[in-house]
Structure 1
Amino acid sequence: MTAKTERADAIRWIQAQMDDYGLTLEELDAAGCFAPPPPPPAAPPPPVVCYRNAEGLTWDGQGEMPSWLKRAVNAGQSVEFYRVGSL
């Protein structure tokens, strides 16, 4: 069965259901059957930057420590040295 045939069959079925129940297009529209879908949910806010180095690389403190911060800590620098503002 092709897509056009399936579509035509679906339209005929809908028309038959409307006839069986005595529904009009206006009644379906008033019931909200053709209302636009709700907008998608807003994107989550970007993570808050907790640590930043001089090159502008950042880490939000979640997950594994990034390589740039691991290298700095291994070289003797404190993680707190890279903390941004107060949390």
Structure 2
Amino acid sequence: MQRVSSTTADFAADLSRLGAAIRAARKEKEISQETLAYLAGVDRSHMGKIERGERNVTILNVLRIALALHCLPSDLLQRAKL
């Protein structure tokens, strides 16, 4: 059974791993952060904050980012080990 985040530090670590997973997937597709932001309909500076784990990404934005990366949202979550 997977752990459930319960502290602020746990959530921060989860966001950091998700951001790293998004960044890695973007780099594999060889697209810029600016291009991913455009394709996902997210402001470029916000995308940067998501990739750095500085913003709590909404499920809607995870869906948009996954669509822009041509993958499933679950792929990003698995990659982040969430």
TM-score normalized by the length of structure 1: 0.35
Which structure has the higher relative contact order (CA within 8 Å, separation 6+)?
2
Larger Rg: 1
**1 or 2, which has the higher helix percentage?**
2
